[in-house]
Amino acid sequence: MPDSFDTSPEFPLQADKADELAWCRSQFHFPQHEGRDTIYFCGNSLGLQPLSVESAIQTELESWKQLAIAGYREGPNPWLFYQEYLKPVLAKVVGAHEAEVTVMNTLTVNLHLLLLSFYRPSPQRFRIMMEAGAFPSDQYAVETLVRHFGLDPAAAIIELSPRAGEKLLRTEDIVQQIRDHGDQLAVVLFGGINYYTGQFFDMRAITEAAHAAGAVAGFDLAHVAGNIPLQLHDWNVDFAVWCSYKYLNAGPGAAGGAYIHERFAGDARMPRLAGWWGNDEKTRFKMEKGFVPKTNAGGWNISTAQVFNMVSLKAALELFGKVGMEKIRAKSIRLTGYLEYLLYQLPGLKFEIITPADADARGAQLSLYFREQGKEIHDRMLANGIIVDYREPGVIRVAPAPLYCSFGDVYRFYEILRGFGDRET
């Protein structure tokens, strides 16, 4: 942990003054509490609204109003190509080629679609490995997928749990389990970051192990996209899906993202469920029989681009394009490190940080497990205009998103916690 932090009230003032991303905060709307901006630590659930969204929506409303059907080919952003506008920045955010990313549907729907492409069980190789305690939607997706193939989830799904007495999975154990089950594994599916513990898995090591075993590796990046820079292509990840409403700040129900490595994205023989929007643009409007997929991730598009579910993503990505993931991550490591440092200055309070202490094994979020007073602390935070979330039993997840959270915000959180006593040693 960097030793450059201290508990003085001056520290956050200076850190915010020196922060080269401090200006980004003014690009967001904050919910109000007693006439002031709230402190918002819930970007791991729903990011704040960028100021640019409203006028971006207005632009498309105007195109619809003025142009109607002609809006597909005219206007500031012809809708026919709407997904294309999102790709350049999104590809950088996840470390992929533009041909490997697309925007469509929502996360769980995309997970189903890509699992249907990548899970091809044989009598020998039919098992899916995932982390125990994955987000429920992923569990339901995998359970219903294997049933769809007439398989018993108890036999087909392998869930990995931490060692007895531990809360986090060790990479070496994941890799070993992949090796041990190698000849039966079809897919290894992990959350890039586990939503509850905040653990960021070693995606490269998992992918390598899956490939060495003859399986494919897929990831749910809901908590990673816009939080940690990724290199999906270079890590050789086979497929990934994410939502756009958390760290990407594209609003509730915004269209989700999908990545498919180019060796599959370009392969027209890959099995998939199809619709006309995935058809090669050259022949789409010929309305002929016979699906001809686009030879990129867009070949998995099914329906007409959901422009109004993508417009806020387009607006939100502008900031990512300007700032870049490297700077976002650099601030994030320092901001979350500062939060962790301050928490350790509270020796009397009965809580534990579940999230890994290693900054490389976590994103912005710290999950704090309070053995006592968890709900009370959560309620006190809300009463003080600090928005954090609470999950039974006693877990408060705190995610200082670097684009709109400050060192001052983190200090305020610490001040209120201090009122509850000091951390146990």
The SS3 assignment for 189 reads strand
The least CB distance from residue 244 to ligand PLP, in Å, is 9
| Nearest residue to ligand PLP, by Cβ distance, number only | 108
CB of 244 or CB of 406, closer to ligand PLP: 244
DSSP character at residue 32: E
Whether 199 contacts 165, CB under 8 Å: no
Partnered with residue 103 across adjacent β-strands are 257
The least CB distance from residue 44 to ligand PLP, in Å, is 8
CB of 145 or CB of 349, closer to ligand PLP: 145
CB of 83 or CB of 108, closer to ligand PLP: 108
Write out the two tokens for 95: 């470390």
Distance CA 59, CA 2 (A): 46
Q: Beta 49-50 vs 216-220: how paired, if at all?
A: unpaired
| Binding region for ligand PLP (CB under 6 A) | 106-108, 135, 137-138, 191, 195, 220, 222-223, 243
The SS3 assignment for 308 reads helix
The least CB distance from residue 221 to ligand PLP, in Å, is 8
CB of 251 or CB of 293, closer to ligand PLP: 251
CB of 244 or CB of 279, closer to ligand PLP: 244
The least CB distance from residue 170 to ligand PLP, in Å, is 21
Distance CA 130, CA 33 (A): 40
Whether 399 contacts 387, CB under 8 Å: no
The least CB distance from residue 110 to ligand PLP, in Å, is 8
The least CB distance from residue 297 to ligand PLP, in Å, is 18
The least CB distance from residue 108 to ligand PLP, in Å, is 3
CB of 246 or CB of 331, closer to ligand PLP: 246
Task: Pick the closest to residue 227 from 386, 14, 43 (CA basis).
Answer: 43
Whether 114 contacts 302, CB under 8 Å: no
CA 265, 266, 271, 275 dihedral sign is positive
Residue ranges with strand state E in 201-288 = 216-220, 239-242, 256-260
CB of 134 or CB of 417, closer to ligand PLP: 134
CB of 130 or CB of 410, closer to ligand PLP: 130
Whether 160 contacts 130, CB under 8 Å: yes
The least CB distance from residue 218 to ligand PLP, in Å, is 12
User: Residue with structure tokens 């000091």?
Assistant: 422
* Phi–psi pair at 159, nearest 5 degrees: -105, 130
